[in-house]
Amino acid sequence: MPGPPVSGEEAGRRLRALPSVDRLATQLARAVLSERRAQLLAGEDGEAEVDLVQRGLERLAPSLRPVLNATGVIVHTNLGRAPLAAAARAAVRRVAEGYSNLELDLERGERGTRHQHVERALCELTGAQAAIAVNNCAGAVLLAAAALCGGGRELIVSRGQLIEIGGGFRIPEVVAQAGARLVEVGTTNRTRLADYRRALGPQTGAILRAHPSNFRTMGFVEQVEIEALCGLGVAVIDDVGSGVLDGELAPLAGEPPVRRSVAAGAALVCFSGDKLLGGPQAGLLVGSADAVAAARSHPLARALRIDKLSLAALEATLALHRDPQLARREIPVLAMLCADERELLARAELLASRTGGELVRESSRVGGGALPLLELPGPAVALDPGPRGAEALARALRRGEPPVLARVRRDRVLLDPRTLSDAQAVEVAEAVRRALDDGRGEDA
């Protein structure tokens, strides 16, 4: 948003502070040439023709920028997972514009805690006694394990839940970094309550239950429900992953709701803020007052703390969840999950009419390591890429402005309207026309 006009003297000072054309061009040219020399000396693309001017222009553009998601993957990890609701975006802007009461108690004029901005809403929505937020769910699990089992105390885990999460991080490695000693029970496919009971001892700190968010085991399998685990009389850390607060939303029936784990008596329940909760990247811990206090006072809590912009977005997102119907309309992830056929078809017809594509039936996905077996059928648009092929058209769309991400299937490019707004569908159609026109020019 533009600020107030400046005086002539101030305007002159600001203009004089800008670097000269020669200085800016020289610095840019040196950087581009240095990079190309390094490539040539390393034997990379020695014979390839490289547009150094284009490389220079690309250096001036921001590296992190918006893209249009036409893949149909709702919580797309590579694209930043959950897009924020309008209320969350507005909250970020307000806090980013100046100072805030991040860690100040305005009533007493004394230092406060950043967790106060979301704790009340988290407790209200989950039924927990206390809550804190950290920077992501892996951090939440690390902090929970360190707080309850640090110093070499035992953390009991089913062998069927020794999972690997995104980026190659594995539960045993997280536990080791927490200073806990891992005790494995059961087998890969079957773990019973008796397996946990036999493992309990004087050094037991907690039991960890890790929900297999990004895969499912089927057939001859058995796992212990959270209520039975909590009945063993030791602390339970329940990593439920995706953060389902709306237990009545049909597509989310395969994910464990946070409120159930809290009601069962889990000491700490860990979940993400940026998956099915639909907010910013965050790791949330809710549970008993004593367990949350132990996590809050642990030295790792500071290393894992959440920043003010994420807190602002999280507070606004949680406020929307107080009214489930409002949340389903306003939080993009939930709106995409609930989108009806008429809405999707109207968007797909717009895309088809403006791109010359064909209406087809396809399935969208939740993504983000949630509900891996769930398919969301609906209309999509298939583009004929012409002689250059689908991969070339998809690459041209990715490299356009704005970048458009699509799927490639059976040598056609697919545009899925579920992950686009009406306005974005128009932008995608224009981007496709430009890419197709450029391709025809190249073929000629």
| CATH code, 387 | 3.90.1150.180
> What local confidence, expressed as pLDDT, does residue 6 receive?
62
Q: Is residue 38 part of a domain?
A: no
Helix, strand or coil, per DSSP, at residue 269: strand
> Are both 121 and 267 inside the same structural domain?
yes
Q: Is residue 390 part of a domain?
A: yes
Q: Which residues on neighbouring strands pair with residue 425, listed in sequence order?
A: none
Q: Is residue 31 part of a domain?
A: no
> Are both 308 and 373 inside the same structural domain?
no
The reported pTM is 0.86
Q: Residue-wise over 399-409: b if at least 16 C-beta within 10 A, else e?
A: ebeeebbbbbe
> What local confidence, expressed as pLDDT, does residue 25 receive?
73
Q: Is residue 16 part of a domain?
A: no
> Are both 260 and 357 inside the same structural domain?
no
C-beta of residue 359 within 8 angstroms of C-beta of residue 373:
no
C-beta of residue 137 within 8 angstroms of C-beta of residue 270:
yes
> Are both 265 and 337 inside the same structural domain?
no
> Are both 365 and 438 inside the same structural domain?
yes
**Closest CA relative to residue 332, chosen from 379, 279, 368:** 279
> Are both 250 and 186 inside the same structural domain?
yes
Q: Which of 271, 292, 323 is the last residue of a domain?
A: 323
> Are both 148 and 115 inside the same structural domain?
yes
Q: Which residues on neighbouring strands pair with residue 222, listed in sequence order?
A: 190
> Are both 112 and 234 inside the same structural domain?
yes
Distances (CA, A) of 437 to 331, 369, 385, 414, 427: 36, 37, 11, 18, 15
> What local confidence, expressed as pLDDT, does residue 353 receive?
96
Task: Give the DSSP letter string of 378-428.
Answer: EEEEEEP-GGG-HHHHHHHHHTSSS-EE-EEETTEEEE-GGG--HHHHHHH
Alpha-carbon gap, residue 276 to 374, rounded angstroms:
14
| Full domain range(s) for residue 420 | 68-80+333-443
The number of distinct structural domains making up the chain is: 2
> Are both 274 and 386 inside the same structural domain?
no
**What is the mean pLDDT for each group of 10 consecutive residues in the chain (444 residues)?**
61 71 74 78 70 68 90 94 96 96 94 95 98 94 96 93 73 87 91 95 95 69 92 96 85 88 97 95 97 97 96 98 96 95 97 96 87 87 92 95 94 96 96 86 53
> Are both 359 and 282 inside the same structural domain?
no
Q: Which of 323, 349, 382 is the last residue of a domain?
A: 323
